[in-house]
Structures are given as structure tokens and as C-alpha cells.
Amino acid sequence: MKVVRLIFLIAHLGILFLLLGTLMNAYVPPKVYPWFNLLSLGFPVLIIAYIVLTIFWIFLWKKRAVAFILLGLLFLNPIKRWVNFSSDKKAGSDLKIVSFNAKGGTLGYENIERYINTQDADIVLLQEHGNMKGYHLKGFNEGKGDDIISVFSKYKIVDQKELIESNSETNNAYANQTDIEIKGSIYRFINVYLQPFKFEKNMVKLKGNSDEDEQKVKDVVKRLIPTFKMHQEQVASIRKGIDDSPYPVILVGDFNSVPNSYEYYHLGKGLKDAFVESGRGSATSFHDYKFPIRIDYVFTSDSILPLSYEVDRSVRISDHYPVIATFKLKK
């Protein structure tokens, strides 16, 4: 039994070390050391294993359980970025937005259009929408867009500017800022689609063949590391739109990055994660894989109060679920 406990202790310490590595994404960019960002992908598995082993020490009445419980508090906020149970906010809503990766409209423009028209949203921000001419949204002003990102608003669009524009076959990231006047005040909406990893299911599904699976893992890592480094440059361009904004900011989109990643920490710096502030349950938004993945986000400036955040799992009109959020706009 002592040997088993020693093995479990070593494993527990190893998991703790890896979890601490995910926190380093707030400080270490991928171009310096990309492996911390790689760890963020495994955070759900790592934290579950950490909790299970902590419970194991509790049942054995070991003093080390106290140390692991206290160290586990370091990961309370990182856990809330995946799963959260915030209390209901009673304030009345001033603004409702829908953010949605539409997968190029491949599951039907009419299905997406019908869904959005039933939401009675004020602002709709789409990623991978496919073709702007394919959508006919009732009562919306249509902002400038392309085949990847677009914005529709029931309020006056004051100005728009590209923050990232795809310019080659290797750079497929997009971002733009749209200044919208709402009830006499201007707000900056930044719609983001970071560089995708372009994975197909067969590329990440392991088959139990050690040699073939090992090669698949190597191929996945070869795609991940360069993309992380590209994200670092794209994040810097988007941050300029945030940092230079004279208006309160609402940042939304498909970051193609999970919580606790470099992208999450640095795009969300100085902003509030609307899910952490007002979400309940799981924030998993990409459902094409069985593994829980949250890559769609809504962040806001301090002057904007998130009231609710919902990942709408009632529809499957894309490989992403729509994200719906409401806000109180402080005067």
C-alpha cells in the first residue's frame, strides 16, 4: 500500500506542476515557450485528476490533503472559466447580443437566419458566416463584412475598421472593430476569429495502434505550436483596438483557444469574462468533439455589467453552439 501511495503522491505532484504551467500563460508568450499554452488544452482532464487524488488523500486522513486543498484554491478562477454557477442578477437588461460561429452556413443559411430572428437580439456578431448575402435579418443594419466575420445591429453603426485581415493562404485570422451608438453613447464591438487549427476528426482520433497514434500526436503538436505563435501576433493587433478605444468595449468571437491559454489571458486583460460574471453551468461551445472545448467568448469593459450568459445547446445549426449574453449599460 505504501508503494501505491507513493505512486499516487508523485502523480499528484506531477499534475500540480502541470496545472501551475497553465497559469504561466499569463506571463510567457508562445514564441518564448509554447508548451505552457499546450497544457491549457488539457486543463479539464488535469483538474479532474487533481480533485480525484485530493479526495483520495482526504479519505485516507492524510495531512497532505490539506496542502493539496489549499494549493487547489489557485485554480478556482481557472475552473470557473470552464464551469460556473453565478447567482442571478436582478437588474433590467439594456442590451442583448448573439455571437455565433456559423460554420460557413453549411447546415443551412435559412436555419441560422430563422434562429437569429427568433432571439430578438440588438447586436449579432457572426464568425465563419459564409456569405453575407445569404442572411436576411429583420430590422438590422448590416455592417461591412467578408466571408468570415460580420456584424448586424439594430442601432446606428458609427464606424468600422479592420484589425486583422487575412492576406495569404496561411493567415486565416480576421478581426474588426465596430463602433455603435446605443441610447446616446458609443460602444466598441470587436469581433474576432483567430487562426484556426484546421483539424479533422480523423486527425485527432486515436485508434489504439501505438505507432499510428504516436504519429498522430506528433502531427497535432506540429500544427498547434506554429498556430500558437501566429495567435500571439494576432492578439497584439486586436489589443491595439481595445487599448486605443475611447469607448467601452465588448469583445466577442471564436478565439480558437481554450480558457487559461495565452490568448485568453491577453485578449481578456483588463476586461471581464461575461461567463465568469454571469454564466451558469458549462461554457463548452464547440461540440464537434466529445472532449469539452470552450473557444467562444464575450468580454466587456468594467462599465458594462453582464447580466446573463447562455450557451444555447437547444440547436445544432453549426459545429458551435450560439452564445447569448445580456448586459446593463452603466450611465
Please classify residue 240 by burial: count the beta carbons closer than 10 Å to its beta carbon, then call 0-12 exposed, 13-18 middle and 19+ buried: exposed
Task: Look at residue 240 in the predicted model and tell me its pLDDT.
Answer: 94
Q: Are 296 and 323 in contact (CB under 8 A)?
A: yes
Report how far residue 195's alpha carbon sits from residue 295's, in angstroms, rounded to the nearest whole number. Answer: 12
The pLDDT value recorded for residue 82 is 95
**What pLDDT, in 10s, does the model give residues 265-315?**
999 999 999 999 999 999 999 988 777 799 999 999 999 999 999 999 999
The helix/strand/coil state of 69 is helix
CA separation, residue 202 to residues 151, 195, 198, 216, 220 (Å): 33, 20, 12, 9, 11
Residues of the chain with pLDDT under 50: none
- Secondary structure of 289-317 in HEC code, one letter for each residue: CCCCECCEEEEECCCEEEEEEEECCCCCC
Q: What is the pLDDT of residue 256?
A: 95
Cell 482526504 identifies what position? 58
Q: Provide the pLDDT for residue 222.
A: 78
What is the pLDDT at residue 201?
Answer: 52
User: Tens digit of pLDDT for each residue in 225-245?
Assistant: 999 999 999 999 999 999 999
Strand partners, 252: 191, 298
Residue 36 host element (H or E): helix 35-41
